[in-house]
Structure 1
Amino acid sequence: MNTENQQFKLTFINYLIIGSLLFGMFFGAGNLIFPLHLGQLAGSHWLPAAIGFLLSGTLLPLLSIIAISITQSEGIYDVARPIGRHYALIFLILVHATLGPMFATPRTATVPFELGFARYIPANQTWIWLLVFSAAFFTLTYFLSRSESHIIDIIGKLLNPLFLILLFIIFLFAFLRPMGDAEQAVISTNYVHDALTNGFLEGYNTMDVLAGLAFGVTIVTSIKLMGVRSPRSIAAATAKSGIICIGFEALIYLGLIVIGAMSLANFKLSENGGIAFGQIANYYMSAVGSAILATLATVTCLSTAMGLVTAFAQDFHKQFPRISYLTFLRFTCAISFVIANVGLTQIISWSLPILMLLYPLAITVILLSILSPLFKKSPIVYRITTVFTLIPALFDATNALPPILKQTAPIQGLVHFASSYLPLFSLGFAWVPFALIGFILSIAAYALFRAPSMQLNPETSAKPK
């Protein structure tokens, strides 16, 4: 085994390629429009908002990759497994449904359509062209993702360089001829006092924490295809590549947030970052800017879509091996195509309550995985912390429901109860104090019951020697 590990030692170039793969899968058009819109919302308070966004949009995704490395896991199921097999399977399905055919993957088609094409199409014909565009988009995604061994070559060596060149052109114009002073930009009401926390919550929209857990299986598979076999070597390669990817992503986020704040000197606050990006591109390069924007959005979303559908198919094929990888791939591409034609606004609106539920659960399982060597991956710590996190997260999700549901009497009653009794509920962080309390109690329980004869999970109990 040692001879094999020495023979297939990765080079710095290999780490760059894997990091490029991660970057291509993480960074979609949504990652372009959300920080840009955040800059417009925060105005001159862009720095604290950026710190909050980077915490949830870059640091936590990096920690999710490190969690996979530390636990030597190959995906979502393995990371959540200490909580219980049934919970791990449900968590895997919910995360992949969110990242896959229900929300994130359909968004990879609707975002570039809205950014680059929708405004040039008559309103009564939009649905027809979205149907055509999304069909072509997911057909191409399927054919490019059929071979798992080609993922690195297609994303890391072809799409990423093209994306970076196009993004560099936008940045070059924006910083050489800034539209205004970001330090003098108007501040939106919610960002006058709570810029940091609102920036943190805005980072949820990237879905990158969930993606970090989901992409674990793709990254591990790609590293194995390079010839690495040792679990320790795979874990190290995953962590090093993740640092490269997330660090570069953070720099792009900062640039986009600043550009968004500067744009307020010429434009009003937009409804979303897609509109803002279109205005900025047209301001600097008119029709050429629109063409670059459309190409940029399509290219980066295509690479993200490939990562999402591949992770979905690989993870579910692993859990249900009787069904082939290609069958799951066809399924997620087909359902994503159908959901995409509902429209971007509806997709974003219905995804928010799901994110408010899943993000706290994902954050806690990531932190527990990183800390797991301290309590020997004891199920009791995982389970108590998760239960204490789940209850307030359900209330946070309820508060984020679309108006058609939130305005009903039962939901209003739940929101009123949570507002009265759950600390930090108004900020969207009711789960934080509960998770901390649960973790403290679980550590106390672990210290009390850690004797082999008193282990809660007999499968993990050590046998007397």
Structure 2
Amino acid sequence: MERIMRKNFSLTSTLQVSLLLFGFFFGAGNLIFPPLMGKMAGTEFLSAISGFAITAVLCPVLGIFSVAKMDGMDNLAKQVDKYFGLLFPLVICLAIGPGLGIPRAGSVPFVMALEPLLPPEVSLPAARALYTVVFFAIAFWLCISPGKIVRRVGKFITPLLLLLICSLFFSTWLKFPFRQGLAQGPYAGASFLTGVLEGYNTMDALAALNFGFAITIAIKSLNLKDGRQNGRFYTYAAAVIAGTFLLIVYGMLTYIGVTTADLFPTTKNGAEILRSAAAISLGKFGYALMLSVFSLACLTTCIGLIVSLSDYFSKICPYFTYKKMVTIICVISCLLANFGLDAILKFSLPTLFIMSPVSVVLILLGIGERFYRGRRIVFSLTVYVCLLFSFIDVFNKASWIPTLLRDFMDLLPLSEFKLAWLVPTLLAFGLSFIGDKLYLCSRCRTAGALDTSEKNEN
């Protein structure tokens, strides 16, 4: 029976779900960070991409593992306490969804790939409005039927995106001889750690907690008979394969940045590097390719967020059905992408910078849960210390805290790399873990002593 059940989920289906997950993760930030990293890292690019892979590949994959293992982000967050379990998913969904991620996904392709090509007489607000309306209309059509999302995205859209990226890579590889410049800026002295921070800034670990919903929906749409346990196994397999694709694509994009650094010395971001490389290696077709790559990359990420959030909010508030939530999120995101994105970024970005470290810590705690038997004290103390120091660190960078507290934060290890939360969090984990073990041992000794006393009395 087990063998028959497993055949229902074919290798082709596994690959399609993996490509679907890759598309969810691979957005605009994932597209533009590696080329600039390659340009700046130069001869240190292997060290830089190794660090980048830890936070931009390994952490998101572990995030999917953790959510699948705990049967959802809600259950993972509830390990801290019931209030955190209610508020954390809500804040994450609002901030990374209509509060930032989805509107930005609709506006970034226009700004990065289309706006530089428009003639001066074209009205930018009108062009942006037309682009975002079309963008979110397509996103709405793709999300409104979640049962078809694997076939539409995993089978067609993401493979097309990969094909276009590969086309850009191979055209660059054939056109330009490989050369490496000297490492620049922070990469000159700390290439590995800088790569870790660049991957951390993709915030994919944060997104992984949301994408667990979408992957669950995608697997359920395949009508498997395997049950929850094997469904979890296929989620793990899809995460590993998606992570492998991410690593390969990051390597391609980093290579483009490394080998074209001397050719485009004035480029300031990854989008400019890719546009320049595409224009020289592919001519006029290169402009169309870049617009397609940016649009598809942002569209797949947008789909993952819309599906996940619509499913989440329709469950906690049944009045808003899945289709209603898809409609509401698409309309709000389209409006914000045109009118209110800058204002809402001021609120959403600090929120995400506070929640990103907490997400990484929560993921790692979920992965290692069996080593401390899910003891709540370990979850609670570790997560709340991380939350406290992340909160203070964000306010410190904005100079909104007293000088004495600011000086204390600056003294913490790795504070110059925006990682002031790391050492206090590790200390909180160590103390809670050891304290919990000592408490359990003392209870065992007490119980043993009572048993001995009862036997002696008898």
TM-score scaled by structure 1?
Answer: 0.88
Q: Is the 8 A contact 1:110 1:343 kept in 2?
A: no
Q: Which residue of 2 aligns with 1:285?
A: 282
Q: Which residue of 1 aligns with 2:23?
A: 24
Please show how residues 169-248 of structure 1 align to structure 2 within 5 Å.
Answer: 169-178=167-176, 180-182=178-180, 185-226=181-222, 227-228=224-225, 230-248=227-245
Please show how residues 39-438 of structure 1 align to structure 2 within 5 Å.
Answer: 39-71=38-70, 73-74=71-72, 76-121=73-118, 122=120, 125-178=123-176, 180-182=178-180, 185-226=181-222, 227-228=224-225, 230-341=227-338, 352-400=349-397, 406=398, 410-411=400-401, 413=403, 416-438=406-428
Q: Distance in 1 between matches of 2:191 and 2:340?
A: 29
Residues 44/349 of structure 1: CA separation in 2 closer, same or farther (3 Å cut): farther
Matched AA of 1:423: P
Q: Is the 8 A contact 2:65 2:236 kept in 1?
A: yes
Q: Is the 8 A contact 2:105 2:298 kept in 1?
A: yes
Residues 376/259 of structure 1: CA separation in 2 closer, same or farther (3 Å cut): same
Q: Distance in 2 between matches of 1:192 and 1:349?
A: 32
Q: Give the 3-state SS of the residue equivalent to 2:219 in structure 1.
A: helix
Q: Distance in 2 between matches of 1:91 and 1:19?
A: 27
Q: Give the 3-state SS of the residue equivalent to 1:302 in structure 2.
A: helix
Q: Distance in 2 between matches of 1:257 and 1:415?
A: 39
Q: Distance in 1 between matches of 2:340 and 2:420?
A: 31
- Please state how far the C-alpha of 1:180 moved relative to its aligned partner: 4.8
Residues 12/283 of structure 1: CA separation in 2 closer, same or farther (3 Å cut): same
Structure 1 range deviating more: 345-354 or 149-158: 345-354
Q: Give the 3-state SS of the residue equivalent to 2:261 in structure 1.
A: helix
Instruction: Write out per-residue CA displacement over residues 364-414 of structure 1, whole angstroms, 9 at most, x where no aligned residue.
Output: 1111111111222121110011122112211332345xxxxx3x6x34737
Instruction: Write out per-residue CA displacement over residues 271-291 of structure 1, whole angstroms, 9 at most, x where no aligned residue.
Output: 321122111111212211001
Q: Give the 3-state SS of the residue equivalent to 2:171 in structure 1.
A: helix
Residues 49/399 of structure 1: CA separation in 2 closer, same or farther (3 Å cut): farther
Q: Aligned-residue CA RMSD in angstroms? A: 2.6
Q: Which residue of 1 aligns with 2:452?
A: none
Matched AA of 1:187: A
- Please state how far the C-alpha of 1:431 moved relative to its aligned partner: 1.4
Q: Is the 8 A contact 1:138 1:337 kept in 2?
A: yes
Instruction: Write out per-residue CA displacement over residues 278-329 of structure 1, whole angstroms, 9 at most, x where no aligned residue.
Output: 1111121221100111112212222221111111101111222232112221
Q: Is the 8 A contact 2:19 2:159 kept in 1?
A: no
Residues 308/229 of structure 1: CA separation in 2 closer, same or farther (3 Å cut): same
Residues 319/177 of structure 1: CA separation in 2 closer, same or farther (3 Å cut): same
TM-score scaled by structure 2?
Answer: 0.89
Q: Distance in 2 between matches of 1:284 and 1:48?
A: 27
Q: Distance in 2 between matches of 1:49 and 1:3?
A: 44
- Higher Cα Rg, which structure: 2
Q: Which residue of 1 aligns with 2:447?
A: none
Residues 418/351 of structure 1: CA separation in 2 closer, same or farther (3 Å cut): farther
Q: Distance in 2 between matches of 1:16 and 1:387?
A: 38
Instruction: Write out per-residue CA displacement over residues 94-146 of structure 1, whole angstroms, 9 at most, x where no aligned residue.
Output: 22123211222122222211232101223882222112211221122112210
Q: Is the 8 A contact 2:410 2:416 kept in 1?
A: no
Amino-acid identity (%): 28
Matched AA of 1:230: G
- Please state how far the C-alpha of 1:270 moved relative to its aligned partner: 2.4
Q: Which residue of 2 aligns with 1:446?
A: 436
Q: How many residues align?
A: 442
Structure 1 range deviating more: 229-238 or 287-296: 229-238
